[in-house]
Amino acid sequence: MSREEDDAVALVRVYCGLASADPADRPASAGSTLTSAVVDDAGRLLHVCEISDDAAGYAQLVALLVERSGGPSGAAIAADSDDHTVTSLLSAAGRPLAIADDDSVDDFAERFADDDSLEEMQSPPAERRAVGLARALQAGALSAVTLPAPRDLAGYKQVLSAHAALASGRHSAAVALREVLRELYPAALRAYPDPAEPVSLAVLDALPEPGMLGGTVARGREVSVAADAIAAHLAADGVADAQEINDAVTALRVAISETPRRAAVNRALTSAVAETVRQAVASVRACDAGCEALVSALSARVSTPAPAPGRRAAARRGESVGELTGLSNTGT
């Protein structure tokens, strides 16, 4: 992605839809998940993925929205139920949120579907509902507002705000890392489409300067031994399995051999380049560590609700929704 494309992504206004699968359509052993869909200001589908309905899934959604909108508050969100853990956390964080009833969700899935996209028309029902919710927000059929925080999560506003700040900081740190690599270590960008991904970060921290894997032709055996040692060390640290790390190191080595060394980055600057890359990597990792600490604290406090009490699930089974109101308001 070019610098101009990065900037375009960072400035776009986005809308997010969250939809759950009907419990009747899922195996009993399946975990609770939500399908998230993100569209831009023109209704174009940018991203679809499944997230877990827990604190980790909330963190994943926040990171996605920050990446797509350039900030934690640059996105409106619509969901098919307020019984989800993720929606409870969104409300507690003060995020703009719209809740649609079951009939409206199905209507949006049909009304805002892209009939020209075969892939979209053949997508699973939960995905179509999520896309429909996102486009309903974009088209003005739904309006997201700040909802009252669930009583048992009201005291976690500060934690959620701190997490949002770290998520934004992580995005900025990742952008800075990409720019550092663009100027000082372009082979890394050739090897890693996302240099801020955990395995890429670990390899770059171990090999922060291209000369450490350079000279493959002249010193092939020596370089291979060094690369194997680094891969073994990272695997022992639990970064990833040995094969994945070996592939990442190999990709970097090939990229270095195919990327001309810039004259400005001479031997006199080698140590400065290595230190700069390591610090840029450390900045991303520091934000990750902070986010993980806060998510762990939230996970210890928030339990994922069983699918059955949800108002959407009850309505699909023909049960009385009113009888469940007390349950849904007592916590997540």
115 CB-contact burial (10 Å; exposed 0-12 / middle 13-18 / buried 19+) = exposed
Number of C-beta neighbours around residue 228 at 10 A: 13
DSSP 114-126: -TT-HHHHTS-HH
What are the φ and ψ backbone dihedral angles of 46, each rounded to 5 degrees? -100, -35
Q: Which amino acid type is present at position 323?
A: E
Instruction: Provide CB contacts within 8 A for 55, sequence distance 6+.
Output: 85, 89, 295, 298, 299, 302
Q: Give the pair of three-digit tokens for residue 217.
A: 């032709």
Distance CA 216, CA 134 (A): 50
Distance CA 17, CA 130 (A): 4
What does the buried/exposed string (b/e) look like for 174-209 if buried means 16 or more CB atoms within 10 Å of the residue's CB? bbebbebbeebbbbbbbbbeebbeebbbbbbbbbbb
Ordered per-residue pLDDT tens for the chain, 332 residues: 444 444 444 456 899 999 997 644 544 434 589 999 999 999 999 999 999 999 999 999 999 999 888 665 668 999 999 889 999 999 999 999 999 999 999 999 999 988 777 787 788 999 999 999 999 999 999 999 988 888 888 889 999 999 999 999 999 999 999 999 999 999 999 999 999 999 999 999 999 988 887 554 444 455 555 778 888 889 888 888 889 999 999 999 999 988 887 655 566 688 899 999 999 999 999 999 999 999 999 998 776 444 444 444 444 434 443 433 333 333 33
Distance CA 309, CA 328 (A): 7
Bridge partners, residue 146, by sequence: 96
